[in-house]
Each structure stands twice: as C-alpha cells, then as structure tokens.
A and B are shown apart, each in its own frame.
Chain A
Amino acid sequence: MEFFLQQLVNGLTLGGVYALIALGYSMVYGILKLLNFAHGDVYMVGAFAGYGVLVAFGGPADPRIPVVTLIVLMFLAGMLASGILGVVIERFAYRPLRNAPRIAPLISAVGVSFFLQNAALLVLGARFRSYGTARMVDPATGLQWGPLRISIIRIVVILSAVALMVVLHLLVQRTKLGKAMRATAFDREAAAMMGIDVDRVIVATFLIGSVLAGAAGVMVGLVFSRVYHFMGFVAGLKGFTAAVIGGIGSIPGAMMGGLLIGLAEAFSAGYISSTFQNLIVFGLLIVFLLARPRGLFGVPEPVKV
C-alpha cells in the first residue's frame, strides 16, 4: 500500500510536469494546427535558465540568498527565458509560414529543434548538469504519514503545477484575451474579421505555452536534478503524447493526458519492469488512437460540404 502511494506521488509529480508541457503543444495546435516539435527544446532551455540562476547565486551547496527566494528566482528565470524563446521562435520560424502548405512549418519546427539542441550542446557541452537539490533542501523535510513520505520539493512542484493550471484556466475562460484565444482557435479568419488581433493572440499563446514549459523544465531540474541538452526530446515526446491522449487542441484534455501519462509511467516503472514496457505503452497508445482518434476531450470534425 505504501509502495502504491509512493508511486502515486511520483506519478502526480511527473504528471504535473507532462501536463504543463502538453498544454503548450495543445494550445499552439488549437490555434495554428501546428505540431510544434521545438516545444521540448523550449522546455530544455527553461531548465538551463533555472540552472544558470542557481550557479549565479553560488550553487546549491552554498547559495548567497535564502533558498526559497532562490527557487522562486529560478522559476522566474526559467519561465522568462522559455517565454522569450517561444515568442522569438514564433516570430522568425512560424509567422512567415502562416499561409504556407501545412508541412512547411512542421519542417521549420524540426529545424528549430535541431538548432536549439545543438546550440545548447555547443554552448554548454554534453555534460549532465545537476541542480543538486538534495544539498539545497534537506530531503528529509516534508510531509510524513506513517510510512509514506513526501519531500517538500515534490509538494512544491505539484502545488505550483496545479496553481499554474488554475491560472491558465481562469485566463482562458474569464479574460478577454482568453476569449480571443478561443475565438481564434475556432476560426482564425473569422476572428480576424471580428477585430481580434490574431497575431497578438498567437504571440500570447506561444508566450503562455512556453512559460509553462519553462516552469516544467525547472520542476524537472528540482525533482530529478539532472539537465542536459537532449532532455527536450524525450520530454517533448511524452508531453506530445499526453496532448494527443487528451485530445490535441483541448486544454483540459492536455491536463488529463499529462496526469494519465505520468501516473502510467510511475506505476509501470514500479510494477512491470520488463524490457517490453515501452512496447506495451506504444501498443496501448495505438489501440487508444484507433478507438478514439480525437483523444479523450477532442471533438470530431464535422463533414464539410
């Protein structure tokens, strides 16, 4: 039972991270119908920005400022760096291709992804970098329920993931910008004709999606304490899968999909440790897609006549 609960906590942590990444995929897809393959690398840059702040303030063992302030600063830096990067990518790699054939921005996205990965490799080297969280925060602090222990870092990560998603939800449902985003996702041309500045909405979408990815990058750094130039690929694939499971384009879908993938990964790592683990996961995904091509929350597209 305690093992089960431990895996549940692991799954929720992972799930929160995947959900944050999946949201970026889904939001961009919803508005531009673009599979933004560079999104995973935006997340990688966020993780490195957090690492940069950590080093700049003296490193995990001996920080010059209080740990809480440091972590907040790391989050801010990661989100800021990713946010700016996302907007820059949109401006230079996707906007000129707004009316190009569907496959052109896809290739452009792949190009951006290659570029970012190798730029990081060139600048930072192939070495793994460690956040050294254990030296920054005593791993023993946290909640303790009988045999179950949840470290304070995991609590912070889960709570901040939830908080970000709540903020996003309010933003999309309650604000004018959110309304504009929904309208643009529904029909870009019509939205433009109704006086919505579509370019600004798209920039905002990229900004929000990338900020969430940056936060996810810092979270992963804090929990798993390992960042490297290629980390965006695997995480991107998982986040993307989560977005698809939830129904790509759907915001609640991305959240649910992320949680599902995170939980599935934690439990399968805990209970079925076989060589065929990945195979089973992909097999299930294929069956799922065949049964529900639009995911959990996707709406089938009507026949246009």
Chain B
Amino acid sequence: MPEIGTDRWVAEFESRRVRREGPWGRLIEWSSRRWLWLFAGAAIVYPFVIGGDFGIRVGVNALLLAMLAIGLNVVVGYTGLLDLGYVAYYGLGAYGYAFLASDQFGIHLPTPVVVAVVALVVFGVGLVLGQPARRLVGDYLAILTLFFLQVFVELALNLDRLDLPFVDGPVSITGGPNGIAGVDPMEILGFRFGQVRDYYFLLLVLVILLIVGVTNLARSRTGVGWRAIREDTLAAEHMTIPSGRLKVLAYAFGATVAAVSGTVFAAVQLGVFPQNFTVALLIVVYAALVLGGEGSIPGALVGALIIAMVPELLRTPAGARLLFYGGLLVAGLTLVRPRRRLAVIVPGLLLFGLAVRALVAGIWPGLVAAETAGGVDRWLLRFSASADVVVSVLFVVTIAVALAAVAVRRRRVRDALLILGVYLLVLVWENRLVEEPSITRQLLFGALLVVLMVARPHGLLGRPRVEVV
C-alpha cells in the first residue's frame, strides 16, 4: 500500500517550474515585487518634472482618487460589500473639515484635531450605517447604500434655511447649493499649507501609509477573514469568523478612509460644494477600482492614476490627438492578428481615404471645406460648418460599423469593415470630436469602461476569479 499523502506533483514541482527569462522578464519580476518603491520614486519626481500648478493639481486629484479607490477596495474588493454610498463619506469628511475649520460657524480648530475628530465621528457613523450589511446581501445592500448617498446629497443641498428653536432667523448649516467657501488651509506642526504642491506631498505620504497599512491588514486575521466572508459567508462563520462584526468593520474602515481624504479635498479646494459628492464621482471611483482590478492594492492605485490622469490629456487638441492616434496605433498592433494583415489594412485605409475625398469633392463640392494646408487634411475630408448633420449621422454609422467589425467572423469582410470603421472614426474625430473635448472625454470614458471590462473583466492587475453562483 502506498504511503499516505505522497504526491508526485509537489515532489517534482521545482523541476517543472517555468520562470520568466531574460532582462525583460527580470524587470517584470522585480517591478512586481518593488512596485511601491517604484510608485513612490516616480511620484516624488513628478511635480518637478511636470512643473506648473495645473499638472500638480492633476496629481492631487489622482492621489485623492487613489486613496478613495484603496479604501473602497477593502469594502468591495476584500469583503464583497457593494457600497454605492461610499462617496457620501468623502463628502462627510469634507463637510466635517469645513464645519470645524472655516468661518461657517467661526470655528477654527487645529488641523490634526479636525482630522482626528472627523475620522472618529465618521468611523462611528460607519459603524451605525453599516449595520444593515449584517443582514442585507449583494445588490440589496447596494441599493440601500445608494439611497444613503442620495440622502446625503439632499441634506447637503437643503440644510441651508433651517428654522431652529431658540435661534432667530433661518440657520444655514451646509450652505445649500452654494456650499461653504473660504475653508482654512491645513496647518500641521506649524507648517502652513500654501501651495498645491504641499498638499500633493501630504497626500503622497497618506497614500503610502494607507497602502502599507492595508497591506498589513490584508495579511492579518481581519483581512483574511474579510476575504473569506466574500468567498463564502456561511463557511466563514463555521470557521469561527464573526461575519457580521467584520462586515461592519470593513464598511466603517472604508468610510473613514474616504472621510480623511475628504478633509484634504476640502482644504485643497478651500471649499466644499454638494455637487462634488454625487453619483458621478461614485462611478469614477468604482471605475478606477475595477479597471485596476478589485482586490488588488497596486491595481486600485494604477486604476486611479489612469482614470485621473489620462482624460487630462484630452484637454488640448494636441494632447487629444496624441492620445487618439497613439491609441489607434496600439490597438492596431495588439488587436490585428496576424500582423501581416496590417500590410493590407493600412494601404487600403490610405487609398480608401483618397478615393472618398476625390469622389465627394467631385459630386458635392459645397459639402467640403476649403483646403487647408498639409497633414491629415490632404487625405481626409473636412466638412464645412453647414454639414453638421452629416457628421452626426456619420458618428452613428461609425458606431454601427465598429460593432459590426467586432461581430463579423469572415476575415475579408472584417478587414473591409475595419478599414471603413477606422476611416469613419478618424473622420468624425477630426471633424467633431476634437472640437468638443468635454463631450469626447465622457464618450471615451464610457467606451473605455465597456471595452476594458469586455477585454479584461478582472481588471489590469486583478486576478481572474472563480465564482460559484
């Protein structure tokens, strides 16, 4: 009879193992172990490289989003609580800071005291409002917390003309739709935060501390317990894990992280406004987390940096073009397989453009704007302002062609659709999208979310999960 528990695979594991080879492979291995150092180094250099206040402000937004995403990761990625009220706590933190450090009530407490008080109070609020998480599961908790967020926004909007007993006249607590302006800048140990750069480095320290802390937590019995609850709550309870208590703790922990970042946000912005804390922000935070890969801390970080920084490139036409054509190039190189098909597609695209241009200029000269100099304009149609409707129609056609190109399987048809689709895309881009940066940003954001989810549902750095329903 064989010995108990002999196992060939375990015994022979080392000899069967495949490692990443070469300098590139070593670089990947190294950076996946030392990612925090890499991030810290790059982030310290960033303000000096980027110069300018605007670039640093973008960095501040990115770090704030990173804090939010990492906090949310504990609630959603670890514990599996779909908390759609998350940004309400960001708002609570910001308003809390504004209450205790502005002229609103004439209270000007020292910054560390304010932050500590806000963190403690919001943690308490989280413990109370997290109670339903004990009983409600999945989407029902999501819906409930979404209502929490709505209540918060309504309160922020409407607590500005309150009649209180013993006080003359209506009292404004939140400042209503106008919010609270003139919030004090932060001051820690005698150092007064004057520039955006000061807040940038404060946030950088906070983000790194948070990453270290959450990593510690993830290895502790609390962190392992959280993940066990997400995997299988009932089994976790049978393994001595008090699921109710841990769920509430995760919820309150996320709320506290959001609140602390909210205090910094209020100080950077020197004010708080209700429209800062709506569903739109919630979507951005979730997008950052899921894009990076829920359950992964470096994932949440990378997702936040991408979501906060890439759209900024779209602000100027030059940056937008760089992003657009760069994106097309990368998409072409990675998605078209085998690559030699590009040898057909690229010349086809060029010829198609020239042909269309000649044709249209011949038949409807009025549609085409007067020729401008050089570049893309020698190849592409440029519509006159009166042809707005045509561009709108073409935009819809572009979407249809792009979707068809995804769905069709036959190689020839697919290549033809691809040529047509890319041509139309460039056409619409140059004629309309590049001129409407704010709409284009949102459009691209929406499209990006869909494409990324379809291509990589577990996010950039997340691990694919096995789920048993």
Contact = CB atoms under 8 A, between A and B. Distances in A.
Interface of A: 29, 33, 35, 88, 91-93, 96-97, 100-105, 107-108, 110-119, 121-124, 244, 248, 275-276, 278-279, 282-283, 285-286, 289-290, 293-294, 303-305
B211 interface: no
13 contacts: A101-B467, A110-B283, A111-B445, A113-B446, A114-B445, A115-B443, A117-B446, A118-B446, A248-B139, A248-B143, A278-B154, A290-B144, A293-B144
Contacts, number: 135
Contacts of B132: 290
Contacts of A101: 294, 457-458, 465, 467
Contacts of B143: 244, 248, 289
B449 A118 contact: no
Nearest to B457: A100
**Residue picked from A108, A111, A278, A290, most chain B C-beta under 10 Å:** A111
A298 B460 CA distance: 37
B234 A107 contact: no
B147 A114 contact: no
B239 to A, nearest CB: 15
The A interface, classified by DSSP as helix, strand, loop or mixed, is helix
Interface residues of B, number: 52
Contacts of A282: 147, 150-151, 154
Interface string B211-228: 000000000000000000
Interface in B131-155: 132, 135-136, 138-140, 142-144, 147-148, 150-151, 154-155
A123 B290 contact: no
Contacts of A96: 454
A275 B283 CA distance: 27
Nearest to B158: A275
B396 interface: yes
Contacts of B283: 110, 114
Interface string B376-418: 0000000000000000100110010001001100000000000
B442 A108 contact: no
A293 B290 CA distance: 27
Contacts of A110: 283, 286-287, 446, 449
Given A108-B450, A285-B147, A293 B136 contact: yes
A111 B136 contact: no
Given A114-B449, A286-B147, 16 more contacts: A92-B407, A93-B453, A104-B457, A104-B458, A105-B453, A107-B291, A107-B449, A108-B450, A112-B450, A114-B445, A115-B446, A115-B447, A122-B395, A123-B396, A275-B161, A290-B144
